[in-house]
Amino acid sequence: MGLPVTVYRSDDAGAPQFTEGMKPSELINVLKKCLVTGYGSKAAAGWSVAFEDAPTQQIVFRNSTSLASGSFVKFWPRSAGDTVRGVVNFQSAPFLTSINPDWATVNAAGWRCMFGSGYYVKHWVIIATAASFYIYTYGDSPKNTVQQSTYHYLSIFCGDIHSLTPNDATRFTTVMGPSESDSSITANPSWTDGLTYLNDNTKVCKMHQTDGSDYPKQMVLNMPYPVYHTLPIRVVPPANHLQFLSPVAIRQLYYSPQGAGVNFEDSQGVNNNLSTLHPYARGIMPGLYQSSFNGYTDELLPLRKDFNGTLYYLVPTSHLGASNLWISTGDWYA
């Protein structure tokens, strides 16, 4: 049985808002209202706040302990002060005991990631369950089209993947591209960071062994269809146009059925082709689908489409091109 999905939007009645450019405290407020407390007529997604230091804009969220893995993710500003367009770090782990952990000693932690809001970030969409959520952002007109040019907009996934392994102890992660090391403590975020410039084989996170042990592998997304981030495709399909929607898988970067060494084996020396501790294909991204159709370049956000009676939200694209990534509002993990 899957988990129900709730869509939260900045244009909902009673929804919390961003100043143009977004402050860290505003992001925390939005996440709390969507995940933990609810707002207006919208019930919360079913997460909790494990730790918070409001004066320094630090917070640790935990997904549901009964419907999900009960894992943790921390958000905190890179620099002191609640400034517009401030850079925010975030990092996940199966278990945290304080708001300021020594990440070098935290078991099975993910990469430290970062985002900045960019000049035009004003509006947001969060699509969430008790186990995970996606967030993407956009601006006031004319910065509210599917193509988001080369401006940086916040867009990430956080939570449990839909793992192929029952009770996978490290299925909680954060996903954005590119993510292959701890983020810089000085560099600025790029317009290519997030969910809006993904391709097949994009490095998006590290994951550990399914029994909860710390043994990281670089993970990538498996996307079956071409993407055209830099090519405008100003086409909207007719209502009866058929699109094939494929789940987006998450898998290890390296694969060789007879390969040896750390890139191909788990901690017990079993190749990832056979391993149950570190299987090559870990699972799928919950609710995320890639369409065989590319287009919608100049359409306005948020863009929704009904596929077989279920609404899907289109993920924006960086640069000037088209998008074919959709987030389902039907049950996830089914």
Q: What is the DSSP letter of 271?
A: B
Q: What is the mean pLDDT of residues 286-297?
A: 98
Would you state the pLDDT for residue 116? Answer: 84
Per-residue pLDDT tens digits for 105-137: 999 999 999 998 788 999 999 999 999 999 999
Would you state the pLDDT for residue 320? Answer: 95
Which residues does 312 contact at the CB level (< 8 Å), separation at least 6? 245, 289, 304, 305, 306, 326, 327, 328, 329
Give backbone dihedrals phi and psi of 169, rounded to 5 degrees, phi first.
Answer: -75, -15
Q: What is the mean pLDDT of the chain?
A: 97
pTM: 0.97
Would you list the domain boundaries of the chain?
6-226+247-290
Q: What is the mean pLDDT of residues 294-300?
A: 98
Would you state the pLDDT for residue 244? Answer: 95
Q: What is the mean pLDDT of residues 75-90?
A: 94
Would you state the pLDDT for residue 329? Answer: 99
> Please, which pLDDT band fits residue 186 given cuts at 50, 70 and 90?
confident
168-199 exposure pattern, b = at least 16 Cβ within 10 A, e = fewer? bbbbbbbbbbbbeebbeeeeebebbbbbbbbe
How far separated are the first and last CA of the chain, in Å rounded? Answer: 5
Burial class of residue 113 (count of CB atoms within 10 Å of its CB; 0-12, 13-18, 19+): buried
Amino acid symbol at 68: A
Per-residue pLDDT tens digits for 136-175: 999 999 999 999 999 999 999 999 999 999 999 999 999 9
What are the structure tokens assigned to 192, written together? 């290519």
- Residue 88 near residue 78, CB atoms below 8 Å: yes
Alpha helix stretches (DSSP H) within 14-76? 24-32
